[in-house]
Structure formats: structure tokens, C-alpha cells
Structure 1
Amino acid sequence: MNNLMKTGLGLILACCMPFTHAQSAPKVIDLTSRPGVIQRMLVLAPAQPKAAVILLAGGHGGLQISPDGNIHWGKDNFLVRTRQLFADQGFLVVVPDAPSDRLSPPFLRGSRETPEHVTDIKAVIAWIRSQTKAPVWLVGTSRGTQSAAYVATQLAPPDGPDGIALSSSILVDDREGASVLSMPVEKLKIPVLIVHHEQDGCHLCPYTLIPKLMNKLTDAPRKQLLSFTGGENIGNACNSAAHHGYNGLDNEVVGKMSTWMLAN
């Protein structure tokens, strides 16, 4: 049994290193999501949250969050690096790690569309609902959109989210799972926000397929596309420093996303 498992069952709260502009000190929270499995998450909580966001990182999703809140992988991921910006907009922010039974390679690769993953995210949503009556949004970027979209198709509120926001959506199937386009998103009856960079060069996320995704959201009571151009484009086209990760556009993207999500 690893050190994380030894923390035991139930909720375990530990204060982390404070952020300069945090409204309250971030915390690491461990909760039992499945028998013998601990789901760790980093939480930023304003005094009176307007809504809550669960920020699902892309890639393999194994952030390897330490008890003091240090993130050992994915610090530059769009949603991970902008977590404080979401908190500044009035959101209760939750950044989940991979669960304790997937804390080594391949982490979440190939498992984002499984009952176990749904159960883990369901536990995170339930914890948030125990803390606030504010709406809960699942927000995914890149591979995280596979998680957010799949969970939303499996769980309706209150077990599932009240809305989802998908940035840099995976739109092409590959060996790591189905694309968002291949999922039954037409049955979603919650608000859906689609965020995409028009110059996204990642081969799994072509902007040309975005109209097809928007047209498939037939039952969403509210849906919106926020598209962006410009910023910096550095290195691998599927990484966070490229247009795929909205490099140089953090404030604009988070600001527009927040305005739309809080407009209910």
C-alpha cells in the first residue's frame, strides 16, 4: 500500500502553500471515491462561490499532487495554470489528480471512458455539493474533454454536472479513446460551452470539425462556441505552449468562459 493509500478512508484535509492572490489558502483534499481508492484534489475556495468548476487536465492526467499542494506534472496545462484565474472570477475550483490506483504510467490514458473514472468524478461532484449549493461545472481541456463529455453523458444532475465546458476538444478517435464527436452528446440536457482556438494545430483537434460538434448538441438548453485567434505558438502543436493551449491568451479565455458560465 503506497503512502497515499495510508491516509485512510474519508476526507483528509491538508493546507497547502498559499498563492499570492488567493482568497483563501488552497487545500489538498483526499476522499474515498471507490473501495480502497483515494481521489486527491487541489481546492481553491472563495468565501462565497458563485459556481464550482472541476478542472480536468489533458495528457495522461497524472498531476502527482503532493500533500503540500505541489503539482509535479502538468503545471503548464491550460486549466492547471489558470486555476487561480477561475478562483478570482468567484468559482470554487477543484483540480483532480489521477486516483490512487492509477498513480503510475499510463495514469488515465485509456481509462477516461470507464465506469471507474465516472465513479471517481461522481465522488468529486458529491463532495462539492456537500460544500455549496452553487452550480457545478465539469471543465476539460484536450484529453480532459473526453473525461468531461463522457461523465456528462453517463450522469445527470445532481450526480452529474450542471454544465460542461470543453476546451480544445478531442474530435478524432484514436487508440486512447473515443472523440467527443463519437460520444452521445446529443442527449445532453445541460448547458454546453465549446472553446477552441481557430489555429489549433493538434491533429486530434481540428477546428474544421467544430461546426459538426455544435450541430450535434441538439438537446442542450444553452450552447455556445467561443473561438480564439492569436497568442503564442511554441513547440509541439498538441502541447500547452501552442495555440492548442491558448498560450498568451489566459486572461481573455478564462474571462469569456467565466462570463458565459456565470450567466445562468
Structure 2
Amino acid sequence: MLASNTQVEKEDDTTLSHPIRTNISLNIRPKTSLDLVLIRPAQPVATLVLMPGGPGKAGISGVNIINRADFVTLTAEIYVAQQIAIAVIDAPSDQPDGLTPRYRQTKTHEAELAMIIERLANETGLPIWVLGISRSTLSAMHAAINIENGISGLVLLSSITNIPIGSGATNLTDLSLDQVSMPTLIIAHKKDSCQGTPPRGATEILENLKNSSNAVIKFFQGGFESGQNPCLPETYHTFNGIQDKVAELIAEFIKNNIKSSNHSD
């Protein structure tokens, strides 16, 4: 594995109750790095990898997350408050315009995710869960299918199931979903009007997760739209106005499945 650099934020409050923020910079291939911010509460039960949707750019600078418009970056601290460590990942340095749907399905991207998951498993010693929303559901599902030994669970929001022809991407429903055996939570908003992520797609994914140990679907209502593009933030597509409720449900699902796994061991 290539080398990595780690920078730990110097905190004034060093009590055990104060989350620790760490910047990890991975040298994922020659002349290319990828930054992530790991935030750990005092007694975490799992690590949740948060992959921003759209172009996948979190705007990480040191231990700070600059892009706070995306669902995953808006909700990051909610999981931490629920005793779940989170890792927000940025786009690789050789992808300055972000990740295209086509790139998210490449072996190159898969190798990046495998490196991230291995590093986080070694860093935290906790079960690793992966979360994707919209475009990043492509990344999350490909990881779940191809890196399954390192991933304990999967969370999908506003999943790609009707992406336009010519995008270079394959819909999640056309992938080998029967290879996914881990617990999977599928979330959609009933009023999501983004063409590529129709709410009915969540049901189609559930029907194809035949070997998941616990596949659950949840439809949300409520919230509001203030954005103009139905596929961008501030819309039902990103659960605008109800992000906290969605994140709390995700945290509950993760913790319940960890308890079930511990009882079965």
C-alpha cells in the first residue's frame, strides 16, 4: 500500500466527551492524493464513510469540511452525536472537476475506496458502513459488491435507477445486487422529482437484494424545496428540511444491526 500522512487537530478541550477530528491524506496512486476527515466520538460503535453526491467534492481543508451544502456534510455531526464515527471523503486530487458517474464505476475508483476502507478499519478497529446519496450511490453499491469483506453495512439515499442514456453509468438495478449480503438501508423521498432517482427505484433495489441479511426501505415525506434544480441540494432529492430526521434513522439502523450482529456471534 502507498504511504499516507495523518494530521490531528489540536483541541483545547481534551476531555473524553469531545470528538476528535483527524485529517488523513492518502497517496492513492503516484502524484495523486485523497483527503478525508475522520471525526470520532468518545465511544464509537461503528465508522460511517460519507461520500458526497454529485461531483463528490467535500472541500476538505485540514480538519475542516468547507462544502456544507451536500446532505452528507450537513449531517456529519449528527452521526457523531449518536456514537458513530464518520469519515467524509473528498475527490482525488487528479479529479479537480469531481467524479463523473462513469468514473464512479471504474476499477480505479474501486481501488481508492478499498484503500480508504482498509485504512479506516485499521485506524478505528470498528465495523465500516458506507453511505451514498444520488451519484455516490454508484460508488457505494460498487464498493458493497466488490469490497464486501471490508464493509459491514450499506446506506443508499436517492439511488440512481433511471440515469439518462449516454451518461456512461449503469443503474443500480442493473448491477449484481444478489451479491450483496450485508444489511442495507434504502431511503427515498416520495416527492423526489430528479429524473435519475425516482422514488420507485428504491423498491426495485429492495426486490433485487435477495441475499441481504437485512434489507429495509424507508420513504420520507415533508421538508421543502428552495433550490431550482430537482437533482441538486435544497430539494426533496436531498431531504431538505428533514436532514436531521433522516440521519437519526440511519444512525438507529446502524446501531440496531450492530447489536444484532453482536448477539449472533
Instruction: Give the structure-2-normalised TM-score.
Output: 0.88
Compared CA separation, residues 260 and 18, structure 1 to 2 (3 A) = farther
Identity between Structure 1 and Structure 2 (%): 26
What residue in structure 1 maps to residue 113 of structure 2? 121
Compared CA separation, residues 17 and 37, structure 1 to 2 (3 A) = farther
Task: Say if 2:26 and 2:34, in contact at 8 Å, map to a contact too.
Answer: yes
Q: Counterparts of 2:10 and 2:72 in 1: how far apart (Å)?
A: 19
1:52 aligns with 2:43: no
Query: Structure 2: which amino acid aligns with 1:203?
Result: Q
What residue in structure 2 maps to residue 79 of structure 1? 72
Q: CA RMSD in A?
A: 2.0
Following superposition, the deviation at residue 37 of structure 1 comes to: 2.5
Q: How many residues align?
A: 249
Of 217, 222, 231, the residue aligned with 1:225 is 217
What residue in structure 2 maps to residue 64 of structure 1? 59
Provide structure 1 residue ranges, at least 5 long, that are not aligned to the other structure: 1-7
Deviates more, 1:169-178 or 1:225-234: 169-178
Of 167, 174, 196, the residue aligned with 2:157 is 167
Compared CA separation, residues 133 and 201, structure 1 to 2 (3 A) = same
Q: Deviations over 1:131-182 (max 9, x none)?
A: 2332110100111101000111111213xx1111001111113305112112
What residue in structure 2 maps to residue 133 of structure 1? 125
Following superposition, the deviation at residue 25 of structure 1 comes to: 4.0
Task: Say if 1:18 and 1:26, in contact at 8 Å, map to a contact too.
Answer: no
Compared CA separation, residues 115 and 229, structure 1 to 2 (3 A) = same
Compared CA separation, residues 11 and 196, structure 1 to 2 (3 A) = same
Task: Say if 2:7 and 2:62, in contact at 8 Å, map to a contact too.
Answer: no
What residue in structure 2 maps to residue 4 of structure 1? none
SS at match of 1:55: strand
1:36 aligns with 2:26: no
Q: Counterparts of 1:262 and 1:56 in 2: how far apart (Å)?
A: 20
Task: Say if 2:4 and 2:26, in contact at 8 Å, map to a contact too.
Answer: yes
What residue in structure 1 maps to residue 7 of structure 2? 13
SS at match of 2:28: strand
Task: Say if 2:194 and 2:230, in contact at 8 Å, map to a contact too.
Answer: yes
Compared CA separation, residues 205 and 81, structure 1 to 2 (3 A) = same
Task: Say if 1:18 and 1:25, in contact at 8 Å, map to a contact too.
Answer: no
Task: Say if 2:137 and 2:157, in contact at 8 Å, map to a contact too.
Answer: yes
Compared CA separation, residues 186 and 16, structure 1 to 2 (3 A) = farther
Q: Counterparts of 1:39 and 1:173 in 2: how far apart (Å)?
A: 27
Of 99, 106, 111, the residue aligned with 1:108 is 99
